[in-house]
Amino acid sequence: MARAIKYAATHFSIAFSMSYAVNQSVLASTAIGVAEPIAFAFGRRAFRQDAGRQAVREPAKVCAG
């Protein structure tokens, strides 16, 4: 649990800092700071599930041309 909190806090801090440097809006930067770790975690989970499915499939056949 502590690792998940540290992960989210780190991603929030990075996203907030980068967004604030660009647009100088605390409200927009906070929204981006909250959304970024959620989107990243969702994308990572989806990528892992997709990679697991691909590992079961047969390797792609390469056609020598």
Q: 15, 37 in Cβ contact below 8 A?
A: yes
Domain ranges (residues) in the chain: 2-52
- The pLDDT tens digits of the residues spanning 3-54 come to 878 888 888 888 888 888 888 888 888 888 888 888 887 887 777 776 666 5
Position 42 scores a pLDDT of 82
Position 48 scores a pLDDT of 75
Using alpha carbons, select from 29, 8, 5 the residue that is nearest to residue 17. Answer: 29
Backbone phi and psi for residue 14, each to the nearest 5 degrees, phi listed first: -65, -50
Using alpha carbons, select from 40, 46, 51, 48 the residue that is nearest to residue 4. Answer: 40
Q: Determine the length of the chain.
A: 65
